[in-house]
Amino acid sequence: EIRQTPFRLIDIPVHSLGVDAINSLIIDVTQSSPDTTEPLATAVHAKTQGNAFFTVQFLGMLQDEKMLYWSYEQEKWLWDIDKVRGNSNIDNVLDLVSKKIANLSKDTEDILKVAACFGSYFYFELVAALVVKERPGCNDEEVHEQLAVALNRIVKEGLVYRVEGTIKYTFAHDKVQQGAYALINEKHERQRMHLRIGRLLQR
């Protein structure tokens, strides 16, 4: 769709981050010395394969799970390198995204699951309309307001962002969309959602 516009496009390849680049990022965030952060950088690289988006997400997950934390007693950032290395719950980027989404509220999860059925980008009003219909008996306006708050949370988490100059939102990475779509466990439920989207778009 983008390439069909009259604008001149420039492809900028985004290469994977090396251990040194990840180490520089960790140094900048934690204000720690390079020799102390290098083992952590190596462990993070092994988990994320240097993918820039997932490196940031993975570091956030480490902080959420207190494997990377601020010590008020020592007044510096600390981490449990053995737990980082041995965290078998997150062995690939899709696991990381799915876990992050699952830890969010029901509103955020519902938005992401429905949005994932639209494709790489979506319109909030369409997603909200479908989610509202999934909650019969609830106040439509209240649900819509709750979903708007949830969308802001999703944006702050770096999972989706608004396309500049439009009212469209897009997933920050295709793995985010895949992770959200994977939360719709039943095949018939996915088919039902796609059918509802099709009917909505035909109006």
Write the pLDDT tens digit of every residue in 74-90: 999 999 999 888 876 56
- Flag the least confident range among 14-18, 39-43, 196-200: 14-18
Nearest to 183 by CA among 125, 90, 116: 116
pLDDT value of position 191:
87
pTM for the model: 0.67
Q: What's the CATH class of domain 100-202?
A: mainly alpha
Cβ-defined contacts of 33-39 (< 8 Å, 24+): 39/81
Average pLDDT over every residue of 145-168: 88
Confidence band for 194, pLDDT divided at 50, 70 and 90: confident
Confidence band for 7, pLDDT divided at 50, 70 and 90: low
HSE of 159, CA atoms in CB hemisphere, 13 A = 29
Give me the residue spans of the domains in the chain: 19-89, 100-202
Q: Which tokens hold the place of 194?
A: 């796609």
Q: Give the mean pLDDT of the chain.
A: 84
Report the C-alpha dihedral over residues 49, 55, 60, 65, rounded to 10 degrees: 10
Largest CA distance in the chain: 61
Query: For residue 37, is pLDDT > 90?
Result: yes
Provide the terminal-to-terminal Cα distance of the chain, rounded to the nearest Å. Answer: 22
Q: What angle do CA 168, 13, 2 make, to 5 degrees?
A: 30
Residues 87-122: tens digit of each pLDDT: 765 656 667 777 778 788 888 988 999 999 988 889
